[in-house]
Structure 1
């Protein structure tokens, strides 16, 4: 809470005490002074953007609400009769949570704050913050609630922009900037998540590792700019060959990885074969390749049903070994392993 809000709350408490509490035993001169004092506080309060209010706890009726409410929301002060009017003019998505919170805090005698969207007379919504002070009587029972409403719409807009920017930056941090597929960080996060899910449900999890054949020769012959374009095209082919929900990422250099949840060994091999055929169908020229002078790839495939203390890193290493078997067996082929636990 900023200094202005603190000052306004203190000022409002003084105002409401002077304005709402009769001084039955005071002398006429003191009463006159207090009436003048209350008028000063009222003028000050009603010239601020903060909107003061008071609710009688016994009747749940508004004893007072500042005239600024009409300028902000379009509803005349006279239309704010009970807490039902306050709740009814709250966004439906906010109403239950905010009302329950405020009632619980008030019953406990705890000062509190609540943010919510308030309906205007034009049918629009404005973000408000209610800062609430619980007033107790001599016995310690809740007597009334006093507080201020603040228009925090601009603050919320700024917060939403910052949140959107944060989400965008987070998404970028999980994306390979060259190919647009997931990066190594995204793969690690996806593997951890899918491994836990497979372990819980005793479901199969498959991994496909892909390595572009003779890519160093490709870069040496065509140059790095063309090499980058080759990587982008292969990433696009791999992405087109999997289901929504499957993960495609760049593991490093010319190596890619596919993570396939709820996928058995036969289905995983079919995915790898589909990727191999689609890469061949692209017919990306590769003069230095012995395979039809086009770009090809080697595939390592593994399937497991995680159990007990099984290690996902060990599983990745196992599939990586299959990839090297494929490369040792002449490249442009698939090597697979099926492992339980």
Structure 2
């Protein structure tokens, strides 16, 4: 194992490192750099950038696998398989730590191969940094900055995907619309700052009451939406009731004061034998929520129940 730190500076042309020896001919060096640069600029997906890098360097240094650990510790990307021998590199730019990349194979690395890998890494760092930046920006663009839940743009994308999956595999899909009861009164009595605190706590409460596969979004204002994949009306009612109880039993404390809140929830379910547009699903959930708000609040109403009663 070889543990090294590779530092590059933005003012160096083409991300070139300070490695003094390259075990390639000048022609090979130029050809390799051009080929890698062209390939790595084809994507802004970190996984794809690493896959392209792995594929293109195989002809120069044989590898069994690559493992990349993101600098923020959030996740890892693995390509190929892990073997006994490996060499590790910390990838750092003048802007900060990108992460750690580990090359692996069954045969020990020769010194000349390590020098070549270091040369090749100099072509990877900036495309990988750009891809990570882009991915981070895209992720932030889909987050509600207050609650850190998905925003409406993220909801539209997720719901469209979930509906397509439900139709393709004939699964049921349910949607919960959750509205905080008397939220204007909370803002008027405690101030908008504490109102924001209430929304954050409710977002946490909704997530804690849901399953790992359920996806929660802030729809706007004091409204939240939960997408329940592979969930029928009965299952949705159970989860919605769990959310209602979770919020009703929570007591939000701030500066010695306790703020009690409740929510009203409307449910709409796309049944496995039906084809339904996203807007129709929302309209039914919204109608069920409206009835819940006009039935005393702090309750759960399903659009299926409305159809039965009517």
TM-score, with structure 2 as normaliser: 0.62
Q: Distance in 2 between matches of 1:48 and 1:123?
A: 9
**Counterpart for residue 24 of structure 2:** 51
**Counterpart for residue 314 of structure 1:** 280
Q: Distance in 2 between matches of 1:123 and 1:253?
A: 60
Which residues of 2 match residues 239-250 of structure 1 at below 5 A? Answer: 239-250=207-218
CA spacing shift, 1:296–1:306, aligned 2, 3 Å: same
Larger Rg: 1
**Counterpart for residue 263 of structure 1:** 231
- Tell me: higher relative CO, structure 1 or 2? Use CA pairs within 8 A at least 6 residues apart: 2
Equivalent pairs, count: 221
**Counterpart for residue 263 of structure 2:** 297
Q: Distance in 2 between matches of 1:244 and 1:125?
A: 43
CA contact (8 A) 2:167 2:275 kept: no
Q: Distance in 2 between matches of 1:123 and 1:243?
A: 51
TM-aligned CA deviation for residue 93 of structure 1: 4.2
Structure 1 vs Structure 2 CA RMSD: 3.7
CA spacing shift, 1:87–1:273, aligned 2, 3 Å: same
Which residues of 2 match residues 1-341 of structure 1 at below 5 A? Answer: 51-52=24-25, 89-93=61-65, 120-122=109-111, 151-284=119-252, 294-305=260-271, 310-338=276-304
**Counterpart for residue 40 of structure 1:** none
CA spacing shift, 1:232–1:123, aligned 2, 3 Å: farther
CA spacing shift, 1:277–1:126, aligned 2, 3 Å: farther
Q: Distance in 2 between matches of 1:163 and 1:126?
A: 25
Q: Distance in 1 between matches of 2:25 and 2:173?
A: 60
CA contact (8 A) 1:198 1:262 kept: yes
SS of residue matched to 1:51: coil
TM-aligned CA deviation for residue 92 of structure 1: 2.3
Q: Distance in 2 between matches of 1:154 and 1:223?
A: 53
Q: Distance in 1 between matches of 2:185 and 2:203?
A: 19
TM-score, with structure 1 as normaliser: 0.57
Deviations 1:203-247 (A, max 9, x none): 000000000001011101100110000000000000111111211
CA spacing shift, 1:124–1:171, aligned 2, 3 Å: farther
SS of residue matched to 1:243: coil
Q: Distance in 2 between matches of 1:269 and 1:303?
A: 10
CA contact (8 A) 2:23 2:112 kept: no
**Counterpart for residue 54 of structure 2:** none
CA spacing shift, 1:252–1:160, aligned 2, 3 Å: same
CA spacing shift, 1:124–1:198, aligned 2, 3 Å: farther
CA contact (8 A) 2:237 2:267 kept: yes
CA contact (8 A) 1:199 1:305 kept: no
CA contact (8 A) 1:285 1:295 kept: no
Q: Distance in 1 between matches of 2:113 and 2:127?
A: 19
Q: Which runs of 5+ in 1 are unaligned?
A: 5-46, 55-64, 67-85, 97-116, 129-149, 287-291
TM-aligned CA deviation for residue 126 of structure 1: 6.4
